[in-house]
Each structure stands twice: as C-alpha cells, then as structure tokens.
C-alpha cells in the first residue's frame, strides 16, 4: 500500500476527474446512504466525469450493513450492466465504505473502487487499510475480505455537516492512534478542543493519524502481527457496540471504542503496569465528552459471550492488544474471565 492512496483534498472535483481519467472505466456506480445522498452527493456530482453515473442508495445506519443490503447492491450492479471494467465510488462513512468495498471486491471477483469518506470516523477508521465487510448474525464485520481501495479521498468540508456526536465518534479513533504512537502525539490529540472545532487543526491531526495507520497497515496488511495494534479498545468496544444494538439503543462506533479504551487501558494497567496517570487522563476525557455506557452485573455474562466470538481471537481465548506505556504495544495478550469482569467493575465505578 503506497502512502499516496489516501488524499485529503482541497478540490474534490479535480481529484476525482484525475482518478477517473486515469482509469477510464466502462461505467460508474456511486454507493451512498440516504444521509450522504442529501448532504454530500450534490458536491460529488459536480464532476463532469460522473455525468450519467448510476447511484445506489441504502438506508443509513450500521444495522443496514448486512447481507440483504449486499444482495441489493450486487443485484443492481448485475441488472445495470456492471462489468469488471466498471468503477464503484463509495460516498459515505464507514458503513458505506465497508459494504461498498466488500460488494465491489466480490462482484465478478472484483471491480475497482474508490472511497470518498464523508465522516471523520470513516476517514480515520474504515476508509483506509483495505478491510471490508458486513455484519452477520449480530456480530460486527463477521463476513468480509481484505481488499484495498484504489484511492481514498477525504474532503474536510464534508465534516462541517457532522453533528458533535459524529465528530466525537471519529475523534475516539484518533485518540486510539495517538496511544499506539508516541507521548507527543497523545499529548497533542488530547489538547484538541472538542467544544470549538478548528477544522485546520483537525486537518493536520487527521493527516498524522492516517499516516500512523498506514504505516502499521503497510507492515502487516492482513493483520497477522503488528496490525493488531489497531484493535486497541475494540475487543471491549465491539462487545459494547453489539450489545447496544441488541438492546435497541445503538451506540456510535467511536463512543463504543472510547468505552473499550478505558477498559483495555485498565487491563493494561493491571497486567502490564500501564501508567495510572495516563489511564486517568483518558477517563477524564471520556467522562467529559462521551458519558458512560450503562450496564449492570447481569450483563457481564452476555458481554463476555460476545467477546468470545470476536474475530481477533485465534483460539478459544480472548485476544487483546494492550499497552505497557504510550506507544509500547503488546499484541496477543489474553485475560481471564475474572480479569475481564474486574475491568467491567472498574468501568462501572465511574
């Protein structure tokens, strides 16, 4: 994966024109959801290269990232003459780039695709790195393939359409990237003012956070080793997220990651002596901007059960990425059920 795959554009139209011109596809399909169709598609269609393109629109929300939606997309491609020389443009957040990448890379054994990321979370998390997928049987991203986009375009202007919750959701993944990078990056990300967003500052934070991710993905594209560092916060986080859907109160992915980070930094503190001071800095940030995920002791067992199904487990044991310090990554750590329940206790003590 070359560094140039992801580009933060000042002029989305000319960047798209250049990419499409280089590829000369036979036909172009744009995948959106009902939110990006309204807020972002008009800006995309300013490109004269997209005249006469096909637009496929899904309902927004992670609950629609499922096999039924995938079938709808494949059917549409099939019925509208898509060939191996077609191009798919996924315009949206992580849900759209995940399912768009998955359907593009499996249709006729793979057509080329470009991600145009419209959310901060999507830009930081799903759009780069080549992971694609859909949710299945209540488990996140259970079915999918590693298939990188030809290009990932990010326009900061789209982020101005986001509400506070969605900006915070994306920021949580930036916090995670800083934790696995350096003390300097961690301090810098913590200084960012979530109350009064400076989009220029956000752009430079975003450039650095994407480089952190790309550097790791380049070393280990298929997550056999160091790429597992990017899973920090996600073993607990995915359990919280899946449970929130089961209980009918869906949590945003970044919020679940933030709650997961608190549990996993506590586990890091207990097992690897991760500094208490840094754990408390994260806890303060979480309390201030994310609130707490409400669950009782009765939920410990079902949450634990979800964690045992996590894709990151190589065996029956639950696999964690933990930290011995900022940037001191320890992959393939395991924890007992008792230790996991202790993390739940720490979390719920607030």
Band (1; pLDDT cuts 50, 70, 90): very low
Q: How would you classify the pairing of strands 112-117 and 151-154?
A: parallel
The alpha helices in the chain, defined as continuous H runs, are 12-23, 34-39, 41-44, 67-79, 94-106, 120-121, 156-159, 164-179, 183-191, 199-219, 234-246, 253-272, 276-289, 300-308, 337-348
* Closest-CA residue to 340 (of 279, 285, 299): 299
> What are the phi and psi torsion angles at 338 (to 5°)?
-60, -45
The pTM assigned to this predicted structure is 0.90
Give the residue from 104, 128, 159 where a domain finishes. Answer: 159
Residue 240 has what pLDDT?
A: 97
Residue 2 has pLDDT above 50, yes or no: no
Same domain, 120 and 236: no
What mean pLDDT is predicted for residues 287-292? Answer: 96
pLDDT tens per residue, range 99-153: 999 999 999 999 999 999 999 999 998 778 889 999 999 888 899 999 999 999 9
Residue 127 has what pLDDT?
A: 72
The number of folded domains in the chain is 2
pLDDT tens per residue, range 190-247: 999 999 999 999 999 999 999 999 999 999 999 989 999 999 999 999 999 999 989 9
Same domain, 194 and 249: yes
Q: Give the CA angle between residues 297, 245, 279 to the nearest 5°.
A: 55
Q: Which of 9-13, 183-187, 233-237 has the lowest mean pLDDT?
A: 9-13
Residue 4 has what pLDDT?
A: 54
- Torsion, Cα 88 214 117 146, to 10 degrees, reads 40
Could you list the residue range(s) of the whole structural domain that residue 8 is in? 3-159
Helix axes of 199-219 and 183-191: crossing angle, nearest 10 degrees = 150
* Closest-CA residue to 175 (of 285, 94, 252): 285
Residue 315 has pLDDT above 70, yes or no: no
Give the residue from 126, 159, 192 where a domain finishes. Answer: 159
Q: What is the pLDDT of the chain when averaged over all its residues?
A: 94
CATH number at residue 127: 3.40.50.1970
pLDDT tens per residue, range 27-86: 999 999 999 999 999 999 999 999 999 999 999 988 999 999 999 999 999 999 999 999
Give the residue from 131, 159, 187 where a domain finishes. Answer: 159
Residue 161 DSSP class: T
CA–CA distances in Å: residue 138 to residues 275, 317, 318:
35, 20, 18
Length of the chain measured in residues: 350
């Amino acid at each position: 994966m070359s560094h140039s795959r992801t580009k933060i554009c000042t002029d989305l139209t000319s960047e798209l024109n250049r990419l499409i011109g280089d590829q000369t596809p036979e036909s172009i399909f744009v995948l959106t959801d009902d939110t990006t169709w309204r807020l972002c598609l008009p800006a995309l269609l300013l490109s004269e290269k997209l005249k006469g393109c096909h637009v496929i629109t899904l309902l927004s929300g992670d609950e629609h990232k499922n096999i039924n939606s995938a079938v709808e997309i494949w059917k549409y491609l099939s019925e509208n003459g898509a060939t191996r020389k077609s191009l798919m443009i996924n315009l949206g957040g992580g849900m759209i780039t995940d399912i768009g990448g998955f359907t593009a890379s499996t249709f006729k054994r793979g057509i080329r695709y470009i991600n145009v990321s419209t959310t901060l979370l999507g830009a930081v998390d799903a759009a780069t790195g080549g992971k694609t997928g859909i949710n299945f049987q209540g488990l996140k991203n259970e079915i999918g393939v590693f298939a990188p986009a030809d290009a990932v375009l990010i326009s900061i202007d789209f982020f101005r359409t986001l509400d506070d919750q969605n900006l915070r959701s994306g920021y949580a993944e930036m916090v995670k990237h800083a934790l696995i990078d350096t003390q300097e990056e961690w301090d810098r990300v913590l200084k960012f003012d979530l109350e009064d967003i400076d989009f220029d500052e956000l752009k430079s934070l975003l450039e650095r956070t994407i480089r952190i991710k790309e550097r790791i993905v380049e070393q280990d594209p298929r997550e056999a080793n160091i790429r597992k560092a990017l899973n920090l916060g996600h073993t607990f986080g995915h359990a919280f997220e899946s449970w929130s859907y089961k209980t009918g109160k869906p949590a945003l992915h970044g919020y679940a990651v933030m709650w997961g980070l608190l549990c996993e930094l506590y586990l890091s503190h207990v097992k690897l002596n991760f500094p208490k001071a840094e754990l408390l800095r994260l806890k303060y940030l979480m309390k201030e901007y994310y609130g707490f995920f409400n669950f009782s002791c009765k939920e410990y067992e079902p949450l634990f059960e979800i964690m045992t199904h996590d894709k990151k487990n190589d065996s029956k044991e639950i696999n964690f990425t933990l930290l011995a310090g900022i940037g001191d990554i320890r992959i393939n750590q395991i924890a007992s059920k008792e230790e996991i329940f202790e993390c739940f206790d720490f979390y719920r003590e607030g």
